[in-house]
Amino acid sequence: FNDKIPVERQVEKFLHQTVNDYKALPIVVGKSTSVYDAIVQLFLEDVGTLYAVDSDGQLAGVISRKDLLRASLGNQNLNELPVSVIMTRMPNIITIHPEETLLEAAKKMIHNHIDSLPVVKEMDEQKNTYLLVGRITKTTITRAYIEIMDEKSD
Ligand code: ADP
């Protein structure tokens, strides 16, 4: 006896889930935060990626585990080194909008070999400024997959 929703409905649901419905809170640091403090933050928040923002909440950079490991390999004083020096910055950040689908988010992560995407709203397209409103990770996609596949029919 199968109490799951029909496969066609599962596929249909999976294809139409939007980023907005699944996005998590972004964990942010200021651009002048030290690499040392960023590493502490990564452990405290239990995330793999931090986002650097300007004073007005604009997305300025992405700081991943590998970025922090690379910075730690040298002999620099990690307390003196700001994350702005080591982060991936605009315009090189791959972003996603709240109304895009999870499938689009998954494709962007796979094609660009990255673990997460900042969810943004445009502030000024000309100036390339984006307001950071969330994050999508590979875990998000896995969670959506389980939720939809395990959904019971009523
Ligand atoms: P990790 O470093 O833990 O393997 P990623 O694979 O996500 O994590 O990051 C690999 C590199 O890609 C890092 O240098 C990181 O700054 C960069 N990166 C991560 N996410 C993005 C993104 N959304 N847009 C552009 N670059 C990114």
Cβ pair 46, 154 in contact under 8 A: no
pLDDT, residue 35, reads 97
Distance, CA of 152 to CA of 154 (rounded, Å): 6
pLDDT, residue 10, reads 79
Percent of residues, the chain, with pLDDT higher than 70: 98
pLDDT, residue 134, reads 97
- Of 132, 99, 108, the C-alpha closest to 22 is 99
Ligand 1 atom closest to Cα of residue 113: 6
Rg of the chain on CA atoms, in Å: 18
Ligand 1 atom closest to Cα of residue 63: 16
The predicted model scores a pTM of 0.91
Distance, CA of 151 to CA of 11 (rounded, Å): 12
Q: Is the domain 7-149 a CATH 2.30.110.10 member?
A: no
Number of neighbours of residue 138 by Cβ within 10 angstroms: 16
User: Atom 6 of ligand 1 has which residue's CA nearest to it?
Assistant: 114
- 48 pocket-lining for ligand 1 (C-beta < 6 Å): yes
- Of 66, 128, 116, the C-alpha closest to 91 is 128
Q: Determine the distance separating the centroid of ligand 1 and the alpha carbon of 40, expressed in angstroms.
A: 18
